[in-house]
Chains A and B, each alone.
Chain A
Amino acid sequence: MTALRLCAVIPTCNHTTALDAILTRLDAAGLPVIVIDDGSAAANAEILRAICARHPNCELQRHVFNGGKGFAVMCGMARAAERGFSHAVQVDADGQHDLDALGALIAMAERNPDAIVTGAPIYDASAPAKRRFGRKFTTFWIRINTLSFRLPDAMCGFRIYPVEKTLALVRKSVRGLRMDFDVEVLVKAHWAGIAVAPVPVKVIYPEGNLSNFQMVADNIRLAKMQTRLFFGMLWRAPSLLFSKPPRIVGGEPTRWSVMRERGAGWGLHLLAAVYRLLGRTVCLAVMVPVILYFFLSGREQREASRDFLDRMWRAGHLKRKPTSWTSFQHFLAFGGSALDKFAAWTGGISHSKLRGDGVAALNELVAKKEGAFIITAHVGNPDVVRAIGVLGNAVPLNVLVHTENAEMFNKLIAQFSPQAPVRAIPVTKVGADTAILLSDAIARGEWVVMVGDRVPVSDGGRVVEVPFFGELAAFPQGPYVLASILKAPVYLLFCARERGVFEVRFTKFADRIDLPRRDRMGAIRAYAEQYAKALEAEVAARPLQWFNFYSFWHRTSSAGGLQKATS
């Protein structure tokens, strides 16, 4: 419990009718108030002045021009900081916030002084249908942009902000200072790792209410902001997926977890429905500006793409000499694969979309109920096969991922499909523990999946350089070392998109990986060469589905041998 130095901030633009009642309630709660008159018309400004004058605890700041709700709130908060308040509760001036909930909000803020506490509206029948739809739409986008269902309805302005943290966040990263502010600040807070704690509140739409929400202009503004956030989300997707949510203390745990689960199911259905309704082409078209943004801003990735494409051209795997347009298509293909991945994990891609010899080979191995070690690559979309297999309960999967925090991925999958037998294991910590866990899994007939074309960042030494398209490139030793310890048959899985279906290639790599003590490095090198050769064939057939956007060949690696010491 922390004692808050709390004040209220009320932005208002021509809202005069409800203000007096609000101020009376806040007086009763003992809260000093800062009212920001956000460019009200002269007559209304006069009324506001008169109302505020009746409440000695109320400070009025007049902006002669309308700067937008977010700007007004921030000015109020800056003033709160000047006056030494630690927290500010934002209250809308139109009276739609149920001030009965103030106590609950304050209690939550006392338990979580570093969090933004936000009212999560429960709508009664007085809410106009149009607005309700708008909010659902916004909630949907927020879920996409935070890749989580942790954030509640973000359009509710009834909040308690930690003053200094919020000011810092807004100075650094929030751009929308109008109606889009409420939403953006929550999403950015989530990205910045600031906890967002929801408290259920009632929202009332008073009759004859004047709303400053302009149905067209503000919805466009919201849409624009969501697009902007979408860029940022794609960029942060990995860390968002794997990030641990900041802990929220207290509140209404049981109730919220129930609501959240229900929300998740609903959001999921909506996402999947949108994809099915609009189709991949439309979704991809919507993503084009996003991808263009990455293309233009991601110089390093662009250069890596171009270098790769030039190599493909020289090797005769591209029909035309690559240009910037080819590079952009390369980026587009990547965007498309992200979309496919998403669709696959939400059940939007059916088994019937899988083609190629690999399908029969996969089914055969599934029928055998035999444990296997599977090596894939960042080529095409092996995720699609994984998702379809996992959602169809074909076989339990253990996926080694290059991320510190695999727990979140596990949770996410559990949310998508609670029965899905898939487990993510961080590749950074493969020790005896993990090896035992995995060898038990294999003994049970489960599969272990790992990529063979990403070298570990931290573990610099454990790579082996082998020829790849005619020049040495670093590949990880990990897959072969682990497979040798697991003593399981090893397969290669590739899956690439080809005219709307997915070509699957699934081939036996080795019955068992054997690394004889006499020439371990040589054996590892031979396996890596075999893998690189298989990868070459796959990449040569569809160069644009190569999704390693960094310079694959020119890395400064110490392609060392096995470590002699264990530390």
Chain B
Amino acid sequence: MNPLEDELRELIVSALQLEDVKPSDIDPEEPLFGDSGLALDSIDALEIGVQIQKKYGVKIDPEDEHVSEYFRSVRSLANYISGKR
């Protein structure tokens, strides 16, 4: 497990105040959004985007057409961030 993915799992749980989910419960490959997995919504995405920008200085442009790919899973987010840093 890559340390960035670990950090992201923590970030998601604390930013979204997910009470019944522990960071280790999140499978880095499972979809964050949609009906399965964590089933996050666009507000969560915004909240995660804010935290990611604050912590890593990586901007995620909501107008970017690939934005849903970056947000697909913890792994894709980690790849995006390490690519941008």
Contact = CB atoms under 8 A, between A and B. Distances in A.
A381 B55 CA distance: 40
Contacts of A481: 43, 46
Contacts of A520: 41, 43
Contacts of A429: 62-63
Interface string A528-567: 0000000000000000000000000000000000111111
A184 to B, nearest CB: 39
B33 A431 contact: no
Interface residues of B, number: 28
| Category for how many chain A residues contact B | 20 to 34
Given A520-B41, A563-B42, A564-B34, A485 B50 contact: yes
B53 A564 contact: no
B68 A435 contact: no
Interface string A417-438: 0000000000001111101100
Contacts of B54: 436
A174 to B, nearest CB: 39
B41 A433 contact: no
A431 B46 contact: yes
A368 interface: no
B50 A566 contact: no
A484 B43 contact: yes
A517 interface: yes
B41 A431 contact: no
A559 to B, nearest CB: 16
The A contact surface, by secondary structure, is helix
Residue from the set A429, A563, A567 with the largest chain B CB neighbour count within 10 Å: A567
A517 B50 contact: no
A158 to B, nearest CB: 45
A436 B39 CA distance: 24
Contacts of B34: 564-565
Contacts of A563: 41-42
A227 B41 CA distance: 52
A563 B34 CA distance: 9
Interface of B: 16-18, 33-35, 39, 41-47, 49-50, 52-54, 59-63, 65, 67-68, 71
Interface of A: 429-433, 435-436, 439, 481, 484-485, 515, 517, 520, 562-567
Given A430-B62, A562-B41, 13 more contacts: A431-B63, A432-B59, A435-B46, A481-B46, A515-B43, A517-B16, A517-B17, A520-B41, A564-B33, A564-B42, A565-B34, A566-B62, A566-B67
21 contacts: A429-B62, A430-B46, A431-B60, A431-B62, A432-B46, A433-B53, A433-B61, A436-B50, A481-B43, A485-B43, A485-B47, A485-B50, A515-B43, A563-B41, A563-B42, A564-B34, A564-B35, A565-B33, A566-B42, A566-B68, A567-B68
